[in-house]
Amino acid sequence: MMKTLTNTQQQVTQRIGDHFDGSHWLDWRWHVKHAVRDLPTLEKILDIKLPPADSKRLQETLEKFPLSVTPYYLSLINREDYINDPVYKQSVPMPDELITLPCEMHDPLAEDKDSPAPCITHRYPDRVLFHVSNVCAMYCRHCTRKRKVGDHDFIPGRDPLKAGIEYIRNTPVVRDVLLSGGDPFLLNDDYLEWILSELRSIDHVEMIRIGTRTPVVLPYRITDNLVKMLAQFHPLFINTHFNHPREITKASRAALAKLADAGIPLGNQTVLLAGVNDCPRIIRELCHRLLQNRVKPYYLYQCDLSEGLNHFRTPVSKGIEIMESMIGHTTGMAVPTYVIDAPEGGGKIPVMPSYMISMSTNKVVLRNYEGVIASYEEPHSYENYFCDRNCKDCHLQLNLQSAEERNAVGIEKLLADYDETIVLTPENTDRHDRRDDEMV
């Protein structure tokens, strides 16, 4: 068995000891059990010596944001240059994590405020996040939910989960449920199967998504049993979290192949991280390798304003530069949507370079990735119709049962013919206050 492991894997396993003959390497529970949670063990296993000057601050960091890395993920670190290693940087704390800037927040996305029921974040109209696990195979240093990590490092009992499921059952607008956490795949198969079958028994839940980093940090979690169980719950989508091409290994490729073979469409969410992947070539390479493994790059996230993440943040312009280097230059399917998750529950806001230069009533002027400036002629006879949402009298064919009845939201209100709103006005201005006074 030992022979099939790479040199680094053998070294890591030997240093862990545990009467190890290598046969446990493929057992995901072994990796969870032997996750490295303290610095001396980390130094021993990697055979490195962390800078002594940092050690006190690193220890303080661990007390605030705990450490946990699977032996598998550790084995991907290049020990020769570990300080710059993308896997090391995502796993091992930096003293900079203790620096908190005034703009950083405990819960920047207001996930706890947008929580109408236990384990639920309901922010968008038709979909919810369902936090089914507080446990992860490893603790990413760039985690946006750092506040929760290790805090209550336990699996929510059935009661809060039942309350979450009840909320979904009683909220018919929820047509899409996203299992998140923590990592849902740290639950055992039976427990996960129970959650999925409860959700599947709800008619209005049209689709289920699972967000997991196990294909990256614990690929052996993707077992035949797990995949067989998941395949009962289609349409089921999985989003994973690769940040660097170095994370795509033989083991992770095998995990992705199993999921894809089970008919599960795969997506990937990458976080743009200074010193890890803030380079157009790295992101391009990553996206190409993902597609090769049947994973569609879904989102590229601007790093959130969570406490202790300042050293990972890049300017937004870096993300724009990366998008500019991809759109048009490479396969459209390789290009993720670059998003900033707005504070206070504003949600994901897409940003990209601008391609529209100007417009007249007859023409639109656009530029392409090469710098070509082109005009597109608008139609001369477009029959503009007034939509009063009376689909019965409209020539476009829509089965009336499928016509969704909901009010326009936000900018949509200003555009909709059927909504009387002509302006959206912020309430927290002096002008607004003065007007209120006048009315009294």
Ligand X SMILES: *Cc1c(COP(=O)(O)O)cnc(C)c1O
Task: Let me know if 127 is a catalytic residue.
Answer: yes
Please give the Cα distance from 364 to 366 (Å, whole number): 6
Q: Is 220 a catalytic residue?
A: no
Nearest distance from residue 143's CB to ligand X, in Å? 14
Window 338-357: contact mask with ligand X (x via CB under 6 A): ----------x---------
For the window 354-373, what string marks contact with ligand X as x by the rule CB under 6 A?
--------------------
Nearest distance from residue 357's CB to ligand X, in Å? 28
* Nearest distance in Å: CB 432, ligand X: 29
Which of 64, 175 has the CB closer to ligand X?
A: 175
Whether 103 is catalytic: no
Measured from the CB atom, the residue of 129 and 132 that comes closer to ligand X is 129
Residue with nearest beta carbon to ligand X = 123
341 is catalytic: yes
Active-site choice (140, 213, 289, 303)? 140
143 is catalytic: yes
User: In terms of Cα–Cα distance, which of 225, 237, 241 is closest to 193?
Assistant: 225
- Give me the least distance between CB of 117 and ligand X, in Å please: 14
In whole angstroms, how close is the CB of 355 to ligand X at the nearest point?
22
CB of 207 to ligand X, least distance (A): 10
| SS3 per-residue string spanning the chain | CHHHCCHHHHHHHHHHCCCCCCCCCCCHHHHHHCCECCHHHHHHHHCCCCCHHHHHHHHHHHHHCCCCECHHHHCCCCHHHHHHCHHHHHHCCCHHHHCCCCCCECCCCCCCCCCCCCCEEEEECCEEEEECCCCCCCCCCCCCCCCCCCCCCCCCCHHHHHHHHHHHHCCCCCCEEEEECCCHHHCCHHHHHHHHHHHHCCCCCCEEEEECCHHHHCHHHCCHHHHHHHHHHCCEEEEECCCCHHHCCHHHHHHHHHHHHCCCCEEEEEECCCCCCCCHHHHHHHHHHHHHCCEEEEEEECCCCECCCHHHCCCHHHHHHHHHHHECCECHHHCCEEEEEEHHHCEEEECCCCCEEEECCCEEEEECCCCCEEEEECCCCCCCCCCCCCHHHCCCCCCHHHCCCCCCCCHHHHHCCCCCCCCCCCCCCHHHHHHHHHHC
Give the x/- contact pattern for ligand X in 319-338, rule: CB under 6 A: --------------------
Instruction: Give whichever of 392 and 406 is closer to ligand X, judged by the CB atom.
Output: 406
| 304 noted as active-site residue | yes
User: Cβ 391 to ligand X, closest distance in Å?
Assistant: 26
- Contacts (CB under 6 A) with ligand X, residues 80-139: 121, 123-124, 127, 129
The reply on whether position 175 binds ligand X by CB under 6 A is: no
Residue with tokens 């032997």: 34
Helices 52-64 and 39-46 meet at what angle, rounded to 10? Answer: 130
- Residue closer to ligand X (CB basis): 37 or 123: 123
Catalytic residue among 107, 114, 183, 304: 304
Q: How many residues does the chain have?
A: 440
* Active site (annotated) includes residue 200: no
Residues between 27 and 86 with contacts to ligand X, criterion CB under 6 A = none
Q: By C-beta, is 129 or 217 nearer to ligand X?
A: 129
In whole angstroms, give the CA distance from residue 296 to residue 292: 9
Instruction: Count the residues of the shown chain that bind ligand X, applying the rule CB under 6 A.
Output: 7
Shortest reach from residue 156's CB to ligand X, in Å: 17
Told to judge if 124 belongs to the known catalytic residues of this protein, a careful annotator would answer yes
Of the candidates 15, 64, 123, 294, the residue annotated as catalytic is: 123
Is the Cβ of residue 39 or residue 178 nearer to ligand X in the bound state? 178
Cis peptide before 182 (omega within 30 of 0): yes
Catalytic residue among 348, 369, 413, 419: 348
Q: Which of 72, 107, 114, 127 is catalytic?
A: 127
- Kindly tell me which of 178 and 226 has the beta carbon lying closer to ligand X: 178
Query: How far apart, in whole angstroms, are the C-alpha atoms of residue 192 and residue 129?
Result: 15
Using the structure block, give the residue that is written with the tokens 């196990």.
214
Catalytic, 123? Answer yes
Which residue is catalytic, options 89, 107, 139, 143? Answer: 143
**Quick one: 178 or 192, whose CB is closer to ligand X?**
178
Residues contributing to the site for ligand X (CB under 6 A): 121, 123-124, 127, 129, 178, 348
Active site residues: 123-124, 127, 136, 140, 143, 145, 304, 341, 348
